[in-house]
Amino acid sequence: MKLLDTFWSGIKRGSLPIYSTLALIFLLIPIFYTIFFSFNKSGRRNTVWNEFTLDNWLNICGRQDLCSAVGNSLLISLISTLIATALGTALAIALVRYRFKFRSTVNFALFLPMATPEIVMGAGLAGLFFSASIGPGFVPTVLAHVMFCLSFVVVTVKARVQTLDPALEEAGRDLYANPSQVFWKITFPLLLPGILSAALLSFALSFDDFIITYFNSGSVDTFPKFVYVAAKGGVPAQANVIASSVFLLAILIVLITQISGHLKRKRLAQVK
């Protein structure tokens, strides 16, 4: 009996690394496929490997409609991220630091966009804009992106605000700093890592969104819409290049952040 228990415990210990490795490989297969076929010399359909080439990377705008769609996605994401980050940061500070009427209602309302299916939110916002005599286009798309990005920004920044020590701000006020100086010289620098994380998350969600954009963008083409339409006839290799570039850029940002954080901790340790 003891031997059997030892055998099963060994199986359990060995199965977790195997399962984790297989799950990771399964998740990475589409990414590797996208990068691999970005170097494919393809015709109309980029689903069969023909020949290695760098032309797709050297001539990304070979499809003008693709570059136009990517430009629209970048512009919409940047504008919506700036608005959502500014509003979300203010809301997060207010929800943590102040007690006001309907505070719990605001917290609940901010959670709803995260729990609501995107197709429901997209259709609802499209109906709202239609009732307000606002046709689909660039501005409604930006407003729609701000709506669903705002909740994620508030949640991210709120977690950072809750970790701040109020004594630091009180010390600034004791040294005769006015509220504006306290915020910009003490509060904002301490909140900056959380704000940057929220902004990056908001940008990624906005750039990636298809369903809400599809309901509200009208004739404005974005990168997810371009891929959806092109998939019916064959996604061009240049789209794989764009997707690969976004993925590699995200990895580069993470590496730079981790390396800079490690170097900073190392310098602090040497000072101590």
The parent domain of residue 153 ranges over 64-235
Domain contains 28 = no
Domain contains 7 = no
Domain contains 248 = no
The count of structural domains within the chain is 1
DSSP for 201-244?
Answer: HHHHHHHH--HHHHHH-TT---HHHHHHHHTTT---HHHHHHHH
pLDDT value of position 67: 86
Domain contains 221 = yes
CATH code of 140's domain: 1.10.3720.10
pLDDT value of position 7: 56
Domain contains 203 = yes
| pTM above threshold 0.95 | no
Whether 142 has a pLDDT exceeding 90, the answer reads yes
Instruction: Give the least confident one: 210-214, 246-250, 266-270.
Output: 266-270
Domain contains 59 = no
Position of tokens 């689909």?
Answer: 136
Q: Share the mean pLDDT of the chain.
A: 85
pLDDT value of position 195: 92
In residues, how long is the chain? 272
Domain contains 260 = no
Under a CB-based contact definition with an 8 Å cutoff, are residues 240 and 56 in contact? yes
Domain contains 197 = yes
What are the angstrom distances between the C-alpha of 120 and each of 77, 153, 208, 211, 228?
A: 21, 21, 18, 9, 19
From the number of C-beta atoms within 10 Å of its C-beta (0-12, 13-18, 19+), residue 210 rates as middle
The three-class DSSP label of residue 253 is: helix
pLDDT value of position 272: 60
Q: How confident is the model at residue 8 (pLDDT cuts 50, 70, 90)?
A: low
Q: How many CB atoms lie within 10 A of CB 258?
A: 10
Under a CB-based contact definition with an 8 Å cutoff, are residues 238 and 60 in contact? yes
